[in-house]
Amino acid sequence: MVAIMDKHLKKISARLKSLVKNRDLNQSILIVGKDGIGKFKLVMETAAALLCDSQAACGKCFGCKNVRKLQHPDFLFVFPFPRIKPESRKNTVFTFSDPVSSNARYSDDTRDEIDNYISSRLENPFAIVDFEKKENIPVEVIKDLILALSKKPLLGGRRVVAILNVDKMAFGAADLFLKVVEEPPDDTHIILTTANPDQLMPTLLSRTDILKVPPAGIEDMEKYLIKKLEVPENQVAYLARMSGGSPGRALYLAQCDLPGRRDIIYSFFEKLLTRGKLSELIEETGREYSGGSYSVGDIRLDFEIMESIIHDLFLLNENQLDNHFINVDIKDKLGKWEIPEIESLEIWKGCCSEVRKACLVNNVSVNSAMTFFYISCADSIDNPVRVRMKLP
């Protein structure tokens, strides 16, 4: 799979290796791209090149082999994780945390989640791994990392710090880490990744060299879905476009019941656009989202489907070309609706973004947030210039 789907990474991978070889790599770099697009693969390749005995990413030396297994003593690797059973504080979870003095201690269940995440990523560098609960990078972990960086590299040469999804640092952690990015130790390279650069502090962005990972081509994604994942042909184009050019996202969506989830969201939009009874729509969303029997990943997927439908309604309103359409397999069904005015769709788009943040960041009830969304959308059809409601 990896050999087939890393074609879009070749140029940026070659550039990074060249910068390492010529000692031109900035001490702090930020790799930006969608989840599952290959940022982790680039992190591992760059870390291997930096810690390779010959700095050529030979793949055979002590440095390369141990980076590949996440066992190199001077490769400090951090990623967001959930706190399961927070009352239990037994284990340190990163190798740089002192097992005696560290306050970054977590439960056995948390440790199991982390071990599963690491094994999944090493097995498939494009994989998207969902946790049971929302994840972040706690301030205690960043304190341990800063303490480790105050000491010399264990092997006396270079040291590499890699932080995945740096935008998910907990409150206070980002401020602490910013000082490291501003003045990194001379012997240390920092590699950060994010899918959401707009959520990072401007100061951090200004202190890093930013490398944007391009998406894989739609045709490559379709071939991959057909040949490797055996996706039914009538779903291939839709899945390829929903993936946004991310191999990991394509794999994740193929394993979800994406068409089934879309059928449910589609029915909500259908009632909205055919001016069905709003009370019935609210009852249906309540039945779907009450009770909390869904994961964070499920909710993220529903929001992506909602955003894709709104995106396509914009294109239908403006008669845009088909090659930008996402829900290509149901375009005719969408086209039968009376498409709202652009002003209304702008309200829908903004409201969807607000509700997504409320659910996934601010812990607002999903049922309440979805009810708010559909009421706001229904109101904006007839009143596109009215100031929309706000979440409390």
pLDDT digits (tens, 9 = 90+) for 60-81: 999 999 999 999 999 999 999 9
Is the pLDDT at 2 greater than 70? The verdict is no
Among the listed residues 167, 97, 178, 114, the one whose alpha carbon sits nearest the alpha carbon of residue 137: 167
How is domain 2-212 classified at the architecture level of CATH?
3-Layer(aba) Sandwich (3.40)
Q: What is the mean predicted confidence (pLDDT) over 154-163?
A: 93
Lowest mean pLDDT segment, chosen from 28-42, 100-114, 231-245: 231-245
Confidence at residue 1, expressed as pLDDT on a 0 to 100 scale? 47
Confidence at residue 275, expressed as pLDDT on a 0 to 100 scale? 83
Strand ranges of the sheet holding 28-32, from the earlier edge strand across to the other edge: 75-78, 159-163, 188-194, 28-32, 209-212
Tokens of 389: 């409601």
How far is it, in rounded angstroms, from Cα 104 to Cα 102?
5
Confidence at residue 362, expressed as pLDDT on a 0 to 100 scale? 77
pLDDT digits (tens, 9 = 90+) for 131-142: 878 899 999 999
Confidence at residue 389, expressed as pLDDT on a 0 to 100 scale? 56
Partnered with residue 78 across adjacent β-strands are 163
- 256-382 has CATH 1.10.287 classification: no
How far is it, in rounded angstroms, from Cα 290 to Cα 366?
8
Residue 82 and residue 170 in contact, taking contact as beta carbons nearer than 8 Å: no
Rounded to two decimals, the pTM is: 0.86
What residue spans define the domains of the chain?
Answer: 2-212, 256-382
Residue 30 and residue 243 in contact, taking contact as beta carbons nearer than 8 Å: no
Is the pLDDT at 387 greater than 60? The verdict is no
Is the pLDDT at 104 greater than 90? The verdict is yes
pLDDT digits (tens, 9 = 90+) for 316-357: 988 766 678 999 989 889 888 889 999 999 999 999 988 988
Confidence at residue 251, expressed as pLDDT on a 0 to 100 scale? 87
Could you give the C-alpha distances from 178 to 117, 148, 182, 190, 319, in angstroms and in order? 26, 16, 6, 11, 46
What is the chain's mean pLDDT, rounded? 90
* Angle of helix 10-21 versus helix 39-51 axis, rounded to 10: 20
Residue 35 and residue 246 in contact, taking contact as beta carbons nearer than 8 Å: yes
Confidence at residue 276, expressed as pLDDT on a 0 to 100 scale? 79
Q: What share of the chain is helix, strand, coil (3-state, %, to 5)?
A: 55, 10, 40
Q: What is the mean predicted confidence (pLDDT) over 111-122?
A: 94
Coil vs helix vs strand at 41:
helix
pLDDT digits (tens, 9 = 90+) for 191-240: 999 999 988 999 999 999 999 999 998 888 888 888 777 777 778 889 99
Confidence at residue 127, expressed as pLDDT on a 0 to 100 scale? 92
Is the pLDDT at 292 greater than 90? The verdict is no
Q: Where are the beta strands (DSSP E) in the chain?
A: 28-32, 75-78, 159-163, 188-194, 209-212
Confidence at residue 361, expressed as pLDDT on a 0 to 100 scale? 74
Confidence at residue 208, expressed as pLDDT on a 0 to 100 scale? 96
Q: What is the mean predicted confidence (pLDDT) over 280-297?
A: 84
Share of the chain above pLDDT 90, in %: 64
Residue 238 and residue 253 in contact, taking contact as beta carbons nearer than 8 Å: no
Residue 105 and residue 56 in contact, taking contact as beta carbons nearer than 8 Å: no
Is the pLDDT at 383 greater than 70? The verdict is yes
**Comparison of pLDDT for 144 and 226, the residue scoring more:** 144
Is the pLDDT at 57 greater than 90? The verdict is no
